[in-house]
Amino acid sequence: MTIHGAGKVLLLSSAAALTVGISACTTGPPVIPHDPCRTVPTRDNTSEGTSELHLRVSGPIHLPVHPGTTTHTSGFGPRWGTHHQGDDLAGPAGTPILAALDGVVVAAGSTGEGPGIGFENWVIIDSNVGGSPVSTVYGHMFADGIHVTPGQQVTAGDHIADIGNAGSSTGAHLHFEYWQGGRLQGGTPIDPVTVLPAIAWQNGGAPSSVADRHDSDRHGDQDSNVRLVAASRSTADCSGFGTAGGGDLAFGAVPAEFEPWLRRAGGVCPDIDSPLLAAQLQQENNFRYGPDAPVSPSGAVGPAQFMPGPWATWGKDYDGDGTADPNSIGDAVMSQAHFMCALHQDVAGIAGDPIELTLAAYNAGLGAVLLHRGIPPYAETQNYIAKITAARAAFTNPNSRGRFTPKASAANRQVVAAAREYLGTPYVWGGGGIAGPSSGGFDCSGLTSFAVHAASAGILTLPRTSEQQWTIGVEIPIEQAQPGDLVFGNWGPNGPGHVGIYSGDDQMIHAPTTGDVVEEAPLQTGMKARRVM
C-alpha cells in the first residue's frame, strides 16, 4: 500500500530509531498506528522511490517561537461556535517559527483549501515522543515563509517558517497544534499548554513573575527549552484499596459500584481526596456510566466526562479488562484522579484557591487558567466550581479527620538502626531491596524496603516504589512522627516521588539522588508521614 503526498506515516524500527519506507511494513510495529506503510517523498515532493530516515526519540519540547517575540491571544477549546484545536501566538509577519520537537516534515505548503480559507498554508512535523506518535502543526504562513520540505528531518528549535497572515486569519499569527496519534492519521488534538505551559506566558516581552516562578520551580532551567510534561504512569494503583485519602469518603454517599474506586482514587495524591472526586462526578454526569451514559454536546463521555484529547493522555486500563474505557467506572475514576492531581500541580504557581483553580482547569482547560492567571471569567466554569465545592461536604466522612493513630511499635526504632548501617552507601537508581544494596547501592525506596523488612524480621515486605509504599500503613500528622515511620515528599500527580525514614528531631535517613550517598538530613518541606509497623 502506498500513501501519496503528505499522508505518510512513521514506523518504529527499534526503541531508538524510526524507519520510514516500504520495507518498514515488516520491520516493527507502527508508531502512528493507522496505515503502517509509506513511501518517502523526494525533494520535489513526488513519491517515486523510497529511502530511509532514522528519527531518534525527540528531545525536550521547545517553544515554537523565540520567547518574547509573540503574544498568546487565543487558547484551545470552544471559540466563536467552533472548536479551536490549538493556540494562537500573534507577532509581526516574518517572526521566526521554530520546530517544537525533533521529527520529520510530512507536509509543508498549501493545505489545498484555497486562498483565504483555513490555514491556506501549513507545516506538519511527525515526531516520536517517548515511543508515542505526535504531530505538531503550524498554520497561516505565507507561501514564501515556509523553509522546509516534506521528508526533511528537523531538530527542535530549527527555523522552519515565518509567521504570516494567510487563510482565514484576522492578523499575523502562528496557529500551533499538538496531535497525539498523528494529524494526518486520525489522531486527537490536545491543548498544547498541557505539554508546553510556557505558550500561555508569551506576552510580547519577558515572562511575568508568576509564570517565571512557576517555570523555575517546575523545570529548574531558564532557557527556551521547556521539558515535556509527560503523562507518567504508576503501578501504585495495583496495591489495593487501602489508600490514604480513601477514609475521607462518607460510607454510602455514592453508588456502591463507585465506592471502592473512589476510595482508591483518593490516595493518588494528598490534595485531591475522595469527597472532591465524588462531588465532581456528581456534577459531571451524576454517576452515570456504561455505553448508554449521556454524552455531552461537545462530545465528553463517561462518568468523568472526558473529552477525547485528555482521555488520550490520561485514560488507562485500571480495571484490568484489557481496554481503557472512559465509560468504565474504574478506568474513568482513576484517570480522573490522576488528571486532577496533574492539574493541581500545574496551577501551583497561580494566586487563588488551589482546588478551585484545579477544578477550573478541568472544566475550562489549563490554558484558560494560565491565560487569565486565575479562574476564567466563564459563567459555566464559575458555576461548576461553586456546585462542586458546595457538594463536597455531603460526601465527606465527618470522622475522617482525627482518625485513630496507632502507637509506634518497638520495631520502629530497629528500622532506623537498620538504615544507619548503610550510611555513606552510594545512591543507585533502582538499587536495593529486602536483601540489602544491589548494583552497589540503594535508591530511596530500596533503602526503606530493606530497613522495614530487616526490622520486622522478614515479616513485612514493602512494595518497591515510593508511590506504592505510600499506600501501606496509616498516615499520621508529620508532627506526630516517631523514629522508624516513613516520610514522603516530592509530590506529583502519581503520588510521592521520594521516601525516607524518620529518625527524630525533624531528621530522616534517606538515599537522596544520583551522585549522593545514604545520609541523615533534615526533612524536606511538605513531607507527610505514614506508620507501617
Maximum average pLDDT range among 102-116, 183-197, 262-276, 394-408: 102-116
72 pLDDT tier (thresholds 50, 70, 90) = confident
Q: Is 507 helix (H, G, I), strand (E, B) or coil?
A: strand
For residues 280-286, average pLDDT: 94
Antiparallel, parallel or unpaired: β 11-12 and 18-19: antiparallel
Maximum average pLDDT range among 157-161, 422-426, 467-471: 157-161
330 pLDDT more than 50: yes
Which tens digit of pLDDT belongs to each residue from 387-442? 999 999 898 866 444 333 444 556 678 899 889 888 988 998 888 888 888 878 89
Task: Give buried/exposed letters for 155-168 (b at 16+ CB in 10 A, else e).
Answer: ebbbebbbbbebbe
**Is 250:275 a contact under the CB 8 Å cutoff?**
yes
* All structural domains of the chain: 1-230 (2.70.70.10), 236-395 (1.10.530.10), 412-531 (3.90.1720.10)
Q: Determine the pLDDT at residue 122.
A: 94
Task: Give buried/exposed letters for 455-483 (b at 16+ CB in 10 A, else e).
Answer: bbeeebebbbbbbbbbbbbbbbebeebbb
Q: Determine the pLDDT at residue 45.
A: 34
Which tens digit of pLDDT belongs to each residue from 477-533? 999 999 999 999 998 877 888 999 999 999 999 999 888 999 999 999 999 999 988
Q: Where are the beta strands (DSSP E) in 163-283?
A: 173-180, 188-190
Q: Determine the pLDDT at residue 411.
A: 67
Three cell numbers, residue 197: 505551559
Q: Determine the pLDDT at residue 481.
A: 93
Name the H helices within 292-353. Answer: 308-314, 329-346
263 pLDDT more than 80: no
273 pLDDT more than 80: yes
Q: Determine the pLDDT at residue 409.
A: 56
> DSSP string of 130-156?
TTEEEEEEEE---GGGB---TT-EE-T
For residues 358-386, average pLDDT: 93
Percent of the chain with pLDDT over 90: 36
Which tens digit of pLDDT belongs to each residue from 48-60? 332 333 457 888 8
Question: What's the predicted TM-score (pTM) here?
Answer: 0.39
Q: Determine the pLDDT at residue 275.
A: 92
Q: Determine the pLDDT at residue 382.
A: 95
164 pLDDT tier (thresholds 50, 70, 90) = very high
d(CA 242, CA 250): 15
Distances (CA, A) of 397 to 245, 274, 337: 11, 10, 19
The residue with greater pLDDT, 452 or 47, is 452
Q: Determine the pLDDT at residue 5.
A: 35
Q: Determine the pLDDT at residue 408.
A: 54
For residues 238-255, average pLDDT: 55
130 pLDDT more than 80: no
Residue 247 has φ and ψ, to the nearest 5°, of -75, -5
Maximum average pLDDT range among 184-188, 335-339, 393-397: 335-339
The residue with greater pLDDT, 13 or 371, is 371
281 pLDDT more than 90: yes
132 pLDDT tier (thresholds 50, 70, 90) = confident
Which tens digit of pLDDT belongs to each residue from 76-106? 875 544 567 888 888 899 999 999 999 999 8
The whole-chain average pLDDT of the chain stands at 76
Name the residue with cell 474505557: 325
The residue with greater pLDDT, 489 or 474, is 489
Cα 212–Cα 215–Cα 220 angle in degrees, nearest 5 = 115
The residue with greater pLDDT, 375 or 45, is 375
| Region of poorest pLDDT, from 34-38, 177-181, 290-294, 410-414 | 34-38
Q: Determine the pLDDT at residue 475.
A: 87
For residues 381-392, average pLDDT: 94
Q: Determine the pLDDT at residue 178.
A: 93
Q: Determine the pLDDT at residue 204.
A: 60
d(CA 298, CA 301): 9
Q: Determine the pLDDT at residue 237.
A: 29
**Is 8:38 a contact under the CB 8 Å cutoff?**
yes
For residues 34-59, average pLDDT: 41
| Region of poorest pLDDT, from 144-158, 203-217, 241-255, 311-325 | 203-217
29 pLDDT tier (thresholds 50, 70, 90) = very low
Q: Determine the pLDDT at residue 21.
A: 27
For residues 292-302, average pLDDT: 88
